[in-house]
Amino acid sequence: MQSVIRIILQRLALGLLTLFVVSIVIFVAVNSLPGDFAQALLGQGATPEAVAAIRTSLGLDQPMVTRYLGWLAGALHGDLGSSFAQANFTTFTGTTSGAKTVAQQIAPRFANTMFLAGVTAAIAVPIAVTLGLLAALYRNSVFDRAVNILTLSSISSPEFFVAYILILFLAVLNPILPSLSNIYEGMAFSDRLDKTLLPALTLTLVVTAHMMRMTRAAIINLLASPYIEMARLKGVSPLRVIVRHALPNALAPIINVVALNLAYLITGVVVVEVVFVYPGIGQLFVDSVKIRDIPVVQACCLIFASAYILLNLTADILSILSNPRLRHPK
């Protein structure tokens, strides 16, 4: 038990170190983007004095190291700063009514993205694991080849192409689902689910192939093991051999690929959210890049990185707990 706790603590420490390094990369990359918020705000007729005044009020005139340390200290306390757009609004109107911090802006958008990721995972994971088990059970059959062709075709197509194909067939030619995801606060769960289903189906087609093929490969790799041969010689049915004997030992790679795809559902939804005008964190990220709202862009990137690292650590820990050989490495 102590060895497991030690391994988990080591993984958590490595995750925190990775997140720290990633935060430096995010800050430097975002602040190196071309364009200037003050210049974009004032337009072509901006005077150097006005641009300098806005940059001073937003703290953009300070050295990059000072700004990074201030941003990092605030992030550690849950303060991701204030939006430049909101700061501009309050500065020029002389009022602070309606002003929102970055956290207040991101919170509802992040909740929407998590809802979309949850719906997609609820559809994709059972389908992918089931298809992977059946493909391994009937490997080299017509079913196995058909599933591989379909999943490879879906993953080889760009997300926006898959999205527009689904919109064409499920929203235009056959108006079954709405083409735009008009999600708002206080919306009934059934209505929210209805408007989220089409982007969720798009993401399902994208992530199912990875999970299905990894499940199939992990199961087939174990079917040549001696204990599987013994189970077959004892007359155990092929389905029971796979579900009862092969699947538990194949959990580690399956958990890893599922976690990676769940991380993609949070960090890779930008294109899908833009296509369906889904009010998630990906849409907010794109809108903030357009107006050079640096604090919001930094916060979105940090959330993406944190989600990816956290899910990878979770997959690593679950793999260790599910496989005794990983708990006692030689």
Type and span of the H or E element at 286: helix 281-290
What average pLDDT does the chain have?
81
Question: Tens of pLDDT along 189-225?
Answer: 888 999 999 999 999 888 888 888 888 888 888 777 7
From residue 286, how far is each of 35, 46, 108, 290, 294 by CA, in Å? Answer: 15, 25, 16, 6, 12
Question: Tens of pLDDT along 107-153?
Answer: 889 899 999 989 998 998 899 888 888 888 888 889 888 988 888 88
Contact indicator for 100, 86 with CB cutoff of 8 Å: yes
The pLDDT assigned to 1 comes to 61
Nearest to 204 by CA among 127, 283, 308, 317: 127
Q: Is the pLDDT of residue 296 over 70?
A: yes
Tell me the domains of the chain and their CATH numbers: 2-93 (no CATH), 107-323 (1.10.3720.10)
The pLDDT assigned to 60 comes to 74
Measure the CA–CA gap between 166 and 90, rounded to whole angstroms.
42
pTM for the complete prediction? Answer: 0.81
Token pair for 47: 């005077």
Nearest to 147 by CA among 217, 209, 221, 211: 209
Contact indicator for 113, 266 with CB cutoff of 8 Å: yes
Token pair for 288: 């903030």
DSSP 8-state assignment for residue 173:
S
- Across the range 276-291, mean pLDDT stands at 87
The sign of the CA dihedral 146, 152, 158, 163 is positive
- Burial category of 44 from C-beta neighbours within 10 Å (exposed 0-12, middle 13-18, buried 19 and up): exposed
Question: Tens of pLDDT along 165-178?
Answer: 899 998 888 888 88
Q: For residue 330, name the pLDDT band (cuts at 50, 70, 90).
A: low
